[in-house]
Structures are given as C-alpha cells and as structure tokens.
C-alpha cells in the first residue's frame, strides 16, 4: 500500500507540474488518475468506485498540501503545485 500511495503522490505532482499554470478540482484529478471503464461496473458499483477513488486522491492531496508541495484551496476544491512541488517533481528524486 505504501508503494501505491507513493505512486499516487508522484502521479499527482507530475500532473500538476505538467500543467503548472492550471488548477485542478478533486473531480478533475480523480478523472485523470482513474482508469475505470464504465463497461466494467454496474451503475451503483461505478459510483462507489469513483467515491473510493476520490477519497484516496483527497487524502493524497491533503498530505501533499501538508508538506508544502501543493496548495489545496478548500474553499473552491482546487489544487495547484507550489514552487517547491515543481522543483521536486522535476528533480531526480522521483526518477530513482
């Protein structure tokens, strides 16, 4: 699970770094990260899976915000990368 969480952090940072001049809502980020095929789930299962994915993404966003790599604006549900996050995303740290 720790590896999966680390990959989620890395992926979120990479998405935000590639679009550093843009903010993303929780729904936008979850959609970019999700590889859910609507054909694989019934409607009720799909809604439950999307909620579960949003909860995981939100938890990662809160942690990234807490360590100063992104700014999570809770008033409008938007996230953007900080300068520190941009430096980390573009560094060797994630490529080892």
Judged against a pLDDT cut of 80, whether residue 8 lies above it is answered with yes
CB 71 within 8 A of CB 85: no
CB 23 within 8 A of CB 77: no
Domain carrying residue 67 = 2-95
Counting residues of the chain whose pLDDT is more than 90, the rounded percentage is 59
Alpha-carbon Rg for the chain, nearest whole angstrom, is 14
Q: What b/e string do you get for 52-74 counting C-beta neighbours within 10 Å, with b at 16 or more?
A: ebbeebbebbebbbeeebbbbee
pTM, rounded to two decimals: 0.80
For the chain, the domain total comes to: 1
Domain with residue 73: its CATH number is 1.10.10.10
**Which helix H or strand E contains 69, and what residues bound it?**
none
């Amino acid at each position: 699970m720790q590896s999966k969480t680390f990959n989620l952090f890395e992926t979120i940072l990479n998405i935000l770094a590639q679009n550093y001049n843009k903010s993303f809502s929780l729904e936008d980020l979850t959609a970019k990260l999700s590889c859910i095929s609507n054909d694989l789930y019934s409607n009720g299962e799909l809604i439950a899976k999307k909620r579960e994915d949003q909860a995981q993404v939100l938890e990662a966003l809160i942690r990234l915000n807490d360590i100063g790599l992104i700014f999570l604006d809770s008033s409008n549900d938007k996230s953007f990368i900080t300068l520190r996050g941009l430096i980390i995303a573009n560094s060797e740290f994630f490529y080892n």
